[in-house]
Amino acid sequence: MKTKILIGMMLLVLSFGTQALAGDCFIGGTITASPNPDLMGPNWMYTMELSWDTGTNYALSHANLLLDPGLGTCTCADFQDALIWESPAGYSDGTPGGCQVDYEAYLECSGDPSIPGVDGFLLKFEPIENGSCEPGATGTGTFVFFSNLPPAPIDEDVLSVVDKFALQYCFGHLSGDFPAMACDPVSSEESSWGNVKGMFR
């Protein structure tokens, strides 16, 4: 039976002024699986098309693909074995003038310390600074990773927003496919992520 993976997306925006109201931001997208055209590489290519709107004047800092809150049977080694990516791992439009921003990907096995309560395993996409082009408050991006594991359907997450301290971050959802891992990530509804998001439904 195919394993359904519940995955959330989180958008972190720097904010030192008025906080956005819940519902003012958006992040979401799809992951599409296709056979890898590089016959010497992993079997499957996973392409994530992402769009965001911070709802503020503050630009995208980085995006996290939330894989597992650490309460399931998956380990960091499971994700290290399952996921492969290149450098850069993706790109988006940017400012000024619709320039292109490239992104590095990092597998984080201890959560995101910049966002309170986000623990566990995540894939972080961080813009590569070049001094002339940066992500905007709204944008679209394409991010690619690879796996030898075949695709399985994603359980769609629910959109919710959390404003905390001087930072704002926005939960969104994905549809499509993710590598069918043998381990069992716990639904984010059963984790602290789900509890935080539930406060704003």
State the DSSP string of 60-89: EEEEEEEEE-S-SS--HHHHHHH-B--SS-
Q: How far apart are CA 27 and CA 78, in angstroms?
A: 27
Find how far residue 187's CA is from the centre of its chain: 15
Would you state the pLDDT for residue 157?
Answer: 45
Q: How far apart are CA 36 and CA 15, in angstroms?
A: 39
User: Using DSSP, how many helices (H) and how many strands (E) does the chain show?
Assistant: 2, 12
Range of the domain at 129: 5-198
Would you state the pLDDT for residue 5?
Answer: 53
Domain total in the chain: 1
- List average pLDDT for each run of 10 residues in the chain, which is 201 residues long: 51 42 71 96 96 86 83 87 97 94 95 78 91 90 96 59 47 85 61 38 29
Would you state the pLDDT for residue 169?
Answer: 81
Would you state the pLDDT for residue 20?
Answer: 36
